[in-house]
C-alpha cells in the first residue's frame, strides 16, 4: 500500500511540474518560441551531420584548415612531383587550399583507395591536430604499407610524415569550401 502511495505521489509531482512548466511557457511566449527554434536547429544540425557522416563514411566528415601548408602561391609544387617522376595534372585539389577553408573528408580503405597525389588527413601521435598533406610515395616496409606525405607549400618532407601507417589515416579530402572554416577556427580559439 505504501509503495502504491509513493508511486501516486511521484506521478502527482510530475503532473504538477508539467503544469508549472506549461504556465511558464504560456506566460513567456517568447521563451517558448526561442526554445522551439533552438530545438529545431539542433535537430537539423545533428540530422545533417549524421547524414554527412553516413555519406562520407567517417565520424569526422568536415574540419577547418588550420595552416597554410597546402596553399598554392605559385605552381612550384608541381615541379617537385615532376622531378619525382609523377604527373600532377590529374591530382585532386589542383588549386590547393589555405587556413580558414572548410574541407570535407571521406573515409577510405588505405590499402585500396589511396594513391600518389591524393590529399589525406592523418593523425600524428605527438600532435594535437591531424595533418592534411598530399601523398608523395607509397612503400612496402617489411611487408607493411607506409605512406609519405608533403604539404604542397612546404619545401620538404617533415620527419613525422615519412612513415605513416594505415591506421593513422582518417580519410581523404574530397572537396573544399573556401573561407567557411574561419567561424570554426574562431570558435576553437585558433
The Cα-based distances of 109 to 13, 17, 120, 172 in angstroms read: 54, 52, 12, 10
pLDDT bracket for residue 118 (50, 70, 90): very high
Name the CA radius of gyration of the chain, rounded: 25
Residues 44 and 70 in one domain: no
pLDDT for 176: 95
- What phi and psi, each to the nearest 5 degrees, are found at residue 70? -115, 15
* pLDDT tens per residue across span 67-90: 999 998 888 889 888 998 999 999
| One domain for residues 28 and 94 | no
CB atoms within 10 A of CB 114: 21
Is there a single domain that holds both residue 67 and residue 51? no
Please give the residue range of the domain that contains residue 33: 2-56
pLDDT for the residue 124: 94
In the structure, what pLDDT confidence band is assigned to residue 11 with cuts at 50, 70 and 90?
Answer: low
pLDDT surpassing 90 at residue 135: yes
Domains held by the chain: number: 2
Please state the rounded mean pLDDT for residues 135-158.
93
* Share above pLDDT 70 across residues of the chain, in percent, rounded to a whole number: 92
Alpha-carbon distance of 122 to 172, in angstroms, equals 9
Q: Could you tell me if 88 and 44 are in contact, meaning their C-beta atoms sit under 8 angstroms apart?
A: no
Cell of 190: 585558433
Residues 95 and 172 in one domain: yes
- For residue 120, what is the domain's CATH number? 2.10.109
The three-point CA angle 46-48-50 to 5° equals: 65
User: Based on the domain organization, do 52 and 119 belong to the same domain?
Assistant: no
Confidence of residue 6 (pLDDT cuts 50, 70, 90): low
Of 29, 56, 83, the position where a domain reaches its end is 56
Residue pLDDT, tens place only, 17-61:
777 777 776 777 778 888 889 999 999 999 998 999 899 988 889
d(CA 69, CA 96): 9
pTM recorded for the entire structure: 0.77
Rounded Cα–Cα distance for residues 190 and 187 (Å)? 8
Amino acid at each position: 500500500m505504501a509503495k502504491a502511495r509513493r508511486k501516486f505521489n511521484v506521478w502527482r509531482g510530475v503532473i504538477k511540474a508539467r503544469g508549472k512548466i506549461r504556465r511558464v511557457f504560456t506566460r513567456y511566449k517568447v521563451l517558448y518560441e526561442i526554445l522551439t527554434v533552438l530545438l529545431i536547429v539542433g535537430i537539423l544540425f545533428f540530422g545533417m551531420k549524421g547524414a554527412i557522416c553516413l555519406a562520407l563514411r567517417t565520424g569526422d566528415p568536415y574540419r577547418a584548415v588550420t595552416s597554410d601548408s597546402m596553399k598554392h602561391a605559385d605552381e612550384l609544387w608541381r615541379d617537385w612531383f615532376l622531378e619525382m617522376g609523377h604527373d600532377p595534372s590529374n591530382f585532386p585539389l589542383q588549386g590547393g587550399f589555405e587556413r580558414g577553408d572548410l574541407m570535407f573528408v571521406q573515409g577510405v580503405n588505405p590499402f585500396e583507395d589511396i594513391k600518389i597525389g591524393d590529399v589525406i588527413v592523418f593523425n600524428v601521435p605527438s600532435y594535437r591536430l591531424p595533418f592534411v598533406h598530399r601523398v608523395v610515395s607509397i612503400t612496402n616496409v617489411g611487408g607493411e604499407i607506409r605512406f609519405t606525405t608533403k604539404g604542397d607549400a612546404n619545401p620538404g618532407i617533415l620527419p613525422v610524415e615519412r612513415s605513416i601507417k594505415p591506421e593513422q589515416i582518417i580519410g581523404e579530402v574530397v572537396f573544399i569550401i573556401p573561407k567557411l572554416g574561419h567561424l570554426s577556427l574562431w570558435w576553437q580559439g585558433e
